[in-house]
Amino acid sequence: MIDDSIIKEHGLTQEEYKRITALIKREPNLTELGIFSLMWSEHCSYKSSKIHLKNYPTSGKNVIQGPGENAGIIDIGNGLAVVFKIESHNHPSFIEPYQGAATGVGGILRDIFTMGARPIATLNSLRFGPLSVPKNKTVMEGVVSGIAGYGNSIGVPTVGGETYFDECYSLNPLVNVFCLGIAKKDKIFYSRAEGIGNPVLYVGSKTGRDGIHGATMASAEFGEDLEQKRPNVQVGDPFKEKLLLEACLEVMEKNLALGIQDMGAAGLTCSTTEMAANSGTGIEIDINLIPQREQGMTPYEIMLSESQERMLIVAQKEKVKQAQSVFAKWDLDAVIIGHVTDTQNLKVKSGDKTVVDLPLRAIINQCPVYNREAKPPAPPAPVIDLNDISFPENYEQAFLQIIKSPGLADKQWIFRQYDHMVQTNTTVLPGADASVLRIKNTNKALAVTLDGNSLYTYVNPRSGGIIAVSEACRNLACVGAKPVGVTNCLNFGNPEKSEIMWQFKEAVHGIAQACKAFQIPVTGGNVSFYNETEGIPIYPTAVLGVVGVIDALDKIMTPEFKAPGDTILLLGENKEELGASEYMNQIHSKKGGPPPEIDLRKEKRVQSLCLKAISKNMIKSAHDLSEGGLAQCLAECCLLGKKRIGCRINLEDKIRTDALLFGETQSRILISLEEDQEDAFKSLAGKRKVPYSIIGKTGGENILIKHLGEKIINIPVQKVYSLWKYSLPGFFKIE
């Protein structure tokens, strides 16, 4: 019998339960209730977010697949398509950092190769508590090695990403994993169960009691019962996944499958119901035919298991043998567990006994949609008055302190643990504005970046959303790429709280507005709510993943200075903006708004000028200004690359020196060019109405910055390099 406590344990409300009984015109049994609890969970149903996500632009002439499938797909010409998506694996990564992160990588890879694409790169956006706390270090070390362990083994390069630190992530770290794949346009596969009577094949690992209730776990706040949730952790098997990847791609290449879906969160339940619902058919499976790892598993456990590395495939009857032989070649069993029906029902049998009989419409289409109350927080996020902020006594010290803060210091300690070169496409290594991958046998390359600033989003969610998109596109412009598509991972607190819902709604509107301005479609992503522990939410963290295309391999730009004697030029304007900056955070220990202003028209002009200058071979380097402002950007141009060339800078703006050095004013790009290109560039910038200033020259052994004639910073590049380079490793020393 289903009682109130069982309903509550399944994360369903009384109203939702009533709705279920009305839809199926009876009481569900426990297995059926479990199925509803998974499919109606926030994670699977998007019931609180749907209403706002509708604002995203999702169409465009190159969009092959928008939101709603395993991943989004964009046509990039040459008969090829890019398939990409980002997903969160936050909760599992806190419970067991290594396995949580590893299975996060495994899951997103399956989303991509399920569609017929070979995954060519992953990136990750990571957020942890401060490294001064030992537990945070343990979590970070586990997450990084988990990503490495899985990605390296399966042979998909981890080519970049971002890592930030803030106290709000101490009890709720974020692990967002992005994957990009390439498919032939005419060989794309979808989640479908077509052809009445066609067999349903189960491939991959056996089903165990892993992660039962994982999807509902991802939809509930953590409490003190964390310890008890530990057995839910799934363990990843990258070797099995590698076999699945090769076998599935071979089966698809040979046209031996009609439809395919991976069993991720919500496992067998999600894959069976979605495949049939997508095709308007029904599906019947026999629980006794499912390969099982443990003895005595109940239908409930089997339907809800989240064992990793499993796929469901629907194939034509006459091709099953051939498909099975491909799987056998890769040492995998492909077992027939049921067939497609015309009932529009999910029927699960245990031998002769029916254990589940549910209409698919009820499970998939009739989940309630909530328009939850959204109200700005009271009191609102703090605002910093610059009049109260004293100038640092020593700018050099402030500069070095920012440079070596873990969020802005060199991340090689992380990415050298990742095989970022396998598949031999990585032409711009991690650490640049965006990662660049050549597409073999074409003259094109892809650029990918992940971006999001949660402090901006906290002090002003709408600006945070707009800036995240703008900055991601600016990152792409700096390597010479035009954006073609967006995916996003929205990490927020409990949506049942009105201020969280307000943050969410505002951020989504900001992202939508910016995507419309850049005319780039959102092709999917992931919403992760309930990122709270004991009632304390994380900063609202919207991570944008943007994919761009570079049309010629000789037009790939990188951020580092190339030679001494080049002219350094700053595109955009410097303003007195220090709200929500790294400078306020690191030097004044203040976190408050307002975030920098953003004007999308100006932003677009700056980016298009940068792209034009790259395509005309006018410039030698380009680097986006973001956290840490101009000083950080200059330093990175000196430090990245092997030559480590210094610079001499004269700044003439009549604004606060700290704002000039460290302010995070948007729509700025730092470029370097040869002196004889200056005139051509000036006239191009003039025509395109982009403000710029020539601020100095490359060369010398020092980073030298003057403001209104006064020497502010004069430090050897080598010294800056050491602090920047050895900051992160210093936290993880092994003696």
Partner 1 sequence: MRFGIVVFPGSNCDYDTLHVLKYVFKQEAFFLWHKDHDLKNADCVILPGGFSYGDYLRSGAIARFSPLMQEVKEFSLSGGIVLGICNGFQVLLELGLLPGAMLRNKNLKFLCQNVHLRIETTDTPFTNKGKPGQVLNIPIAHFDGNYYIDGPGLDKIKKNNQILLRYSSAEGHLTKEDNVNGSLDCIAGLVNENRNVLGMMPHPERASETLLGSRDGHIIFDSIIYYIKNDR
Residues that bind partner 1 (CB under 8 A): 145, 148-149, 152-155, 237-240, 242-243, 330-331, 412, 415-424, 426-427, 429, 438, 440-441, 553, 734
Q: Hey, what are 272's tokens?
A: 């069976």
Peptide bond into 594 cis (omega under 30): yes
CA 209, chain centre distance (Å): 28
**CA-to-CA dists, residue 15 to 19, 43, 192, 372, 723, angstroms:** 6, 19, 31, 15, 57
Alpha carbon distance 284, 263 (integer Å): 17
43 is catalytic: yes
Q: Which of 10, 43, 420, 707 is catalytic?
A: 43
Q: Of 118 and 656, which has the nearer Cβ to partner 1?
A: 118
**CA-to-CA dists, residue 521 to 52, 56, 81, 511, angstroms:** 16, 8, 15, 11
Q: Of 406 and 572, which has the nearer Cβ to partner 1?
A: 406
CA 408, chain centre distance (Å): 19
**What is the H or E stretch that residue 534 is in?**
none
Lookup result for tokens 């508590």: 129
Q: Of 152 and 470, which has the nearer Cβ to partner 1?
A: 152
Q: Of 308 and 454, which has the nearer Cβ to partner 1?
A: 308
Q: Of 22 and 421, which has the nearer Cβ to partner 1?
A: 421
Q: Which of 10, 52, 89, 339 is catalytic?
A: 89
- Nearest approach, Cβ of 205 to partner 1 (angstroms)? 13
Report the greatest alpha carbon distance in the chain. 88
- Nearest approach, Cβ of 238 to partner 1 (angstroms)? 7
- Nearest approach, Cβ of 1 to partner 1 (angstroms)? 45
- Nearest approach, Cβ of 440 to partner 1 (angstroms)? 6
- Nearest approach, Cβ of 77 to partner 1 (angstroms)? 20
Q: Of 153 and 350, which has the nearer Cβ to partner 1?
A: 153
Q: Of 416 and 688, which has the nearer Cβ to partner 1?
A: 416
Q: Of 158 and 207, which has the nearer Cβ to partner 1?
A: 158
Alpha helices in 26-161 (DSSP H): 30-39, 42-45, 50-53, 90-95, 97-113, 134-154
- Nearest approach, Cβ of 417 to partner 1 (angstroms)? 5
Alpha carbon distance 731, 135 (integer Å): 12
The amino acid sitting at 517 is: A
Alpha carbon distance 266, 261 (integer Å): 12
- Nearest approach, Cβ of 632 to partner 1 (angstroms)? 24
Report residue 634: phi and psi, to 5°. -60, -45
Dihedral angle at the C-alpha atoms of 568, 572, 575, 579, nearest 10 degrees?
-100
- Report which DSSP code applies to 324: H
CA 352, chain centre distance (Å): 45
Alpha carbon distance 466, 461 (integer Å): 9
- Residue 316's Cβ-side half-sphere holds a number of Cα atoms within 13 Å equal to 9
Asked whether the beta carbons of 538 and 530 are under 8 A apart, the reply is no
Grouping H, G, I as helix, E, B as strand and the rest as coil, residue 446 is: strand
- Nearest approach, Cβ of 697 to partner 1 (angstroms)? 27
Catalytic center residues: 43, 89
